[in-house]
Structure formats: C-alpha cells, structure tokens
Amino acid sequence: MTNAQESVGFIGVGYMGHGMAKNIVEKGYALTVMGHRNRAPVEDLVARGAKEAKTPREIGAASSIVFLCVTGSRQVEALIRGPDGLKAGLKPGSVVVDCSTSDPNSTLALAAELAEAGIDYADAPLGRTPKEAWEGTLDTMIGASDALFERLKPVISTWAGRIVHIGGTGDGHRMKLLNNFVSLGYAALYAEALALSQKVGITPKRFDSVIRGGRMDCGFYQTFSRWVLEGDENAHKFTIANAFKDLTYLEAMADAAGLVNPIGNAVKNSFGVAMAAGGAERYVPMLTDYIGRLNGTDLTPANQN
C-alpha cells in the first residue's frame, strides 16, 4: 500500500542510506533513488519498488521530500546547486533533509538559499550503525521548525526508532558535532591510554580487565576496543577521514561561536596523525595503531597476547 501524501527522494544509498531507503519504500512511500557507484544497493531498492533517477534535478522533480545521506557539506552543496542540482528540480513546498554530518554554517546558508525558492530545509543527522539502519531503529536529532518536524516525522519514523527534535534548522548538525566530539574524544583518549599502557608493560587485555565492567566502561569503549582486543575490523565502520572532517566542522562551529576549544583541537590532531600516515580509509578504532606507532609501540591486534 502506497502512502500518497509524500513522494520521497533519496541520494546516498551507501552503508547507512541503503537500509534507510529500504525501510522508506517497504513502509509504503513512493521512492526515487539516485544512481550510486556501488550498483548493488540501487538494484536492491529498485527490486523492492523504488525508481531510479540519473541526476539530483530528476530526484527533485519527482519528490516532495528528499533525503541526503552523503559525506558532508561539500557534497551536499554540490548536490543542491548547479544546473542539474536539486534546487533546479524541486517545487515550492518541497523539503530537503540532510542526514549527513555537515557544517552548521553551510546548513544555515543552504536553508536561506532554498527558502527564497519556497523550499524547506531540515537537518537530521544519524546515530548508531548500518545494522540499525537496516532494522529501522536509528537515532536521529532533527533541526526543523515545529510544523516541518511534524510533517517529516512519519517518514523519518520508517527508519528511526529514537527521534529527538533538538531545535531549529542547524541545531541537528550542531548537536551531531557535539555528540561526535564526545565519542571521538573518547577514541583519542583510549588510543593514547592504550599506547601508554603498552609502553609501561600493561597489555591491552590487562588494561581491559580493569576498565570493562567498571565506572569507566561504556558502549563506545566496548565497540572501540574490539579492534585492538579481537581484530574485529567491522566493530565500528566509521572512517578516520570522516572523523577528521567532523572535527574540522566542530572547530569551525567553535570559531563561529567565539569559543576557545583546546581539547577539540587536540582530538582533531590525534586523527590528523593517522591521516598523515595514510590511515584515511581505515576505521576509528584503528587509531590505536597510529598512536602506538608514533610512540614506538605496536598495538596492532596481531601483536596482542
């Protein structure tokens, strides 16, 4: 049964977007997706009832709500602007929802630009993993007016289990950067603590025996430590490049707010070390390898006893 009230477009059917789009089409919404370098998700979604478009402009023309789930602001801006961009195809009264982790300064600029054409803009960045995306139980924090939030909520409910209306446009991206600052700050802290631990003769497994189950334990620690303890490459599939990008956005947000953020810059520089050493496409828990190597110790899983 099709929900005729909204027609939905989706751009970015990668790790997270594939599951999100799958839930949208399976729960009754007409869905149009844009081609992706990996054809498998597109073909799967078309088999489930979605249509495929070739350009953002085509997606805009076919949709009343368009979700974007891409790397960041540079990609979002490119998708919206230009002769084949979303703005050229969207009708007044339609909505763009950016589920990427983006720079709030860019988000506000795009919202103002689209408002001139009668198009609404909301930010709905994501929490949790591709597993929850597939199950339709992601977390999301939404920046939108009250009326826009109420319009979007039924569609977002197809792929999210925990929906928080955090504030107006831009506030979702602000909160996502704060959330990622906390989690990536933990990652930098764990990597440095594990390197120091190893340097003074305490193995990661012995370190873990004290942290796990104690007051310093948390879900993020348990996911993060699965690489160094078990060699699980897929425990936390978020790249070091994306982490570094988010921390540069955090820095820009702090600059715009007039905040001195020495800890944020220290965390960014920890990931910068891994970036400079060629680790851009490796995942966040593998930061331990680079911080360890920088300090003359081997924290790769093969070295653990």
How far apart, in whole angstroms, are the C-alpha atoms of residue 186 and residue 114? 37
3-class SS of residue 21: helix
Q: Spell 86-119 as b/e; 16+ CB within 10 A means b.
A: bbbbbeeebbbbbbbbbbbbbbbebbeebeeeeb
What is the CB-side half-sphere exposure of residue 128 using CA atoms within 13 A? 20
Q: Are 4 and 154 in contact (CB under 8 A)?
A: no
3-class SS of residue 115: helix
How far apart, in whole angstroms, are the C-alpha atoms of residue 84 and residue 58? 8
Q: Are 212 and 229 in contact (CB under 8 A)?
A: no
Catalytic residue, from 87, 176, 245, 268: name it: 176
Position 141, amino acid: M
Tokens of 69: 């789930």
237 given a catalytic annotation: no
DSSP assignment of 152-216, as one string?
HHHHHTTTEEEEEEEESTTHHHHHHHHHHHHHHHHHHHHHHHHHHHHHTT--HHHHHHHHTTSTT
Instruction: Kindly calculate the radius of gyration of the chain based on its CA atoms and give it in whole angstroms.
Output: 20
Position 9, amino acid: G
3-class SS of residue 52: strand
Taking alpha carbons only, the member of 254, 294, 255 closest to residue 272 is: 294
Residue appearing with tokens 């974007």: 68
Residues acting as catalytic residues: 176
